[in-house]
């Protein structure tokens, strides 16, 4: 049974937490404009992530690094205005949250001008997360592969395969939760590690390339529609195959996540 599916009111962070407790998978896709926002919302997608991935799939850059706070405010507002039910999470872009005070100023812009319900930031930045939460700003953490740190990591590589690194990700996940984050995205980590973290945490864990045992799944919209300019990641799937329309493809993704049919083993590490 799907919780809150018929509600015309926007989902809240408490309702997402209730979905985890009830064992209902959370479906999430990136969105960058009003038209796709309305379509995804109509299908029943639970969370719309305005990701800084827009730098690559919308703007044509080879990384997320050039994306600005102004860009994120613009796209977040466009998405939020067109949805009725889906929960809206917006990325804080590269170098916009180096200190708690800087993070607060930029997060406030995303919420006041971009109509975000929550902001997402990468890494185990406990002090920043705690400060934002103290100011009333809901936070989504992001661990594993960190696209904003691609130059430091040496490319887009699976994280947590070595025992030491895996233990660090588990420790960081618990610190992020204890700092007050309400959601966590885990990207490109082994499925077993993601399953362990999902069991340990009280907050919902949304996976991307992290196996089927996370509390929910997210993909870049353009990847799952097979219209990205670059190569589709291994952990993604072309849902346009056999679909009658874009809306049908999104519905197939939503149903596959809810029924734990996606990701399959071939989409996991």
Task: Using alpha carbons, select from 205, 183, 180 the residue that is nearest to residue 195.
Answer: 205
Question: pTM score, two decimals?
Answer: 0.95
Task: Using alpha carbons, select from 4, 31, 14 the residue that is nearest to residue 182.
Answer: 14
Coil, strand or helix at 199: helix
Question: Exposed, middle or buried by CB within 10 Å (0-12, 13-18, 19+), for 102?
Answer: middle
Q: State the Cα angle at 144 between 141 and 177, rounded to 5°.
A: 30
Query: So where are the chain's domains?
Result: 13-267
Q: What is the pLDDT along the chain (269 residues), one digit of tens a residue?
A: 455 444 578 999 999 999 999 999 999 999 999 999 999 999 999 999 999 999 999 999 999 999 999 999 999 999 999 999 999 999 999 999 999 999 999 999 999 999 999 999 999 999 999 999 999 999 999 999 999 987 676 666 899 999 999 999 999 999 999 999 999 999 999 999 999 999 999 999 999 999 999 999 999 999 999 998 878 899 999 999 999 999 999 999 999 999 999 999 999 99
Look at residue 2 in the predicted model and tell me its pLDDT: 53
Which token pair is 214? 């996370």
Coil, strand or helix at 261: coil
Q: Which of 127, 163, 174, 187 is catalytic?
A: 187
* Fold of the 13-267 domain: TIM Barrel (3.20.20)
Instruction: Tell me the C-alpha distance between 104 and 100, whole Å.
Output: 6
* DSSP sequence for 88-142: EEEE--TTS-SSHHHHHHHHHHHHHTT--SEEE--S--HHHHHHHHHTT--EEEE
* DSSP sequence for 16-74: HHHHHHHTPPEEEEE--SHHHHHHHHHHT-SEEEE-TTHHHHTS--SSSTT--HHHHHH
Active site residue 187: yes
Coil, strand or helix at 249: helix
């Amino acid at each position: 049974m799907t919780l809150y599916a018929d509600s015309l009111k926007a989902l809240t962070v408490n309702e997402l937490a209730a979905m985890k407790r009830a064992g209902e998978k959370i479906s999430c896709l990136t969105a960058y404009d009003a038209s796709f926002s309305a379509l995804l919302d109509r299908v029943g997608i639970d969370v719309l992530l305005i990701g800084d991935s827009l730098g690559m799939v919308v703007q044509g850059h080879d990384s997320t690094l050039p994306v600005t706070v102004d860009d994120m405010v613009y796209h977040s507002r466009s998405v939020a205005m067109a949805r009725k039910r889906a929960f809206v999470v917006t990325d804080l872009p590269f170098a916009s949250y180096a200190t708690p005070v800087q993070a607060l100023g930029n997060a406030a812009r995303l919420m006041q001008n971009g109509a975000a319900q929550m902001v997402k930031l990468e890494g185990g930045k406990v002090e920043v997360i705690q400060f934002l939460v103290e100011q009333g700003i809901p936070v989504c953490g992001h661990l594993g592969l960190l696209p904003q740190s691609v130059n430091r990591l040496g490319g887009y590589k699976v994280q947590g395969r070595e025992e030491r690194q895996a233990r660090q990700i588990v420790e960081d996940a618990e610190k992020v939760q204890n700092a007050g984050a309400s959601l966590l995205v885990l990207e490109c980590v082994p499925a077993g590690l993601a399953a362990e973290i999902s069991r340990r945490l009280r907050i919902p864990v949304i996976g991307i390339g992290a196996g089927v045992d996370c509390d929910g799944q997210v993909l870049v919209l353009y990847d799952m529609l097979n219209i990205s300019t670059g190569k589709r990641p291994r952990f993604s799937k072309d849902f346009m195959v056999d679909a009658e329309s874009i809306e049908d493809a999104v519905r197939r993704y939503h149903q596959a996540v809810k029924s734990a049919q996606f990701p399959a083993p071939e989409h996991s590490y």
